[in-house]
Amino acid sequence: MRGEAARQARGELLAAHERELWRRGFTRIAGVDEAGMGPLAGPVVAGAVILPPGVLIPGADDSKALSEKRRESIALQIRAQALACAVGIATPREIDRINIRAAGLLAMRRAVLALDPAPDYLLLDARTLPEFSLPQEGPVRGDATFHIVACASILAKTHRDALMRRYDRRYPAYGFAQHKGYGTARHLAALRAHGPTPIHRKSFEWGQSQLSLFT
Which tens digits make up the pLDDT trace of 141-177? 878 889 999 999 999 999 999 999 999 999 999 999 9
Q: Across residues 87-100, what is the average pLDDT?
A: 97
pLDDT given at position 1: 45
Lowest mean pLDDT among 69-78, 89-98, 132-141, 169-178: 132-141
pLDDT band (50, 70, 90) for residue 196: very high
pLDDT given at position 85: 98
pLDDT at 208 over 90: no
Among the listed residues 157, 146, 127, 162, the one whose alpha carbon sits nearest the alpha carbon of residue 63: 157
b/e map 198-210, b = 16+ CB within 10 Å: ebbbbebeeeeee
Q: Across residues 167-195, what is the average pLDDT?
A: 96
Lateral strand order in the sheet of 44-50:
84-90, 44-50, 29-35, 121-124, 136-137
- Supply the mean pLDDT for the chain: 91
pLDDT band (50, 70, 90) for residue 215: very low
pLDDT given at position 5: 66
- Domains of the chain with CATH codes: 2-160 (3.30.420.10)
pLDDT at 211 over 50: no
pLDDT given at position 6: 65
- Rounded Cα–Cα distance for residues 204 and 80 (Å): 37
Find the DSSP H helices in the chain. Answer: 2-14, 16-23, 68-81, 92-98, 100-113, 147-170, 176-179, 185-194
pLDDT given at position 214: 44
Residue 118: how many CB atoms within 10 A of its CB?
14
Q: Across residues 203-212, what is the average pLDDT?
A: 52
Give the tens place of pLDDT for each residue, 33-46: 999 999 999 999 99
- Rounded Cα–Cα distance for residues 43 and 158 (Å): 13
- 137 beta partners: 123
pLDDT band (50, 70, 90) for residue 13: confident
pLDDT band (50, 70, 90) for residue 64: confident
Q: Across residues 201-208, what is the average pLDDT?
A: 69
Calculated CA dihedral for residues 146, 130, 90, 190, nearest 10 degrees: -70
- Rounded Cα–Cα distance for residues 15 and 134 (Å): 20
pLDDT given at position 45: 98
Enter the pTM of the model: 0.91
- Rounded Cα–Cα distance for residues 14 and 4 (Å): 15
- Rounded Cα–Cα distance for residues 180 and 118 (Å): 31
Q: Across residues 182-190, what is the average pLDDT?
A: 95
pLDDT over 90, % of the chain: 81
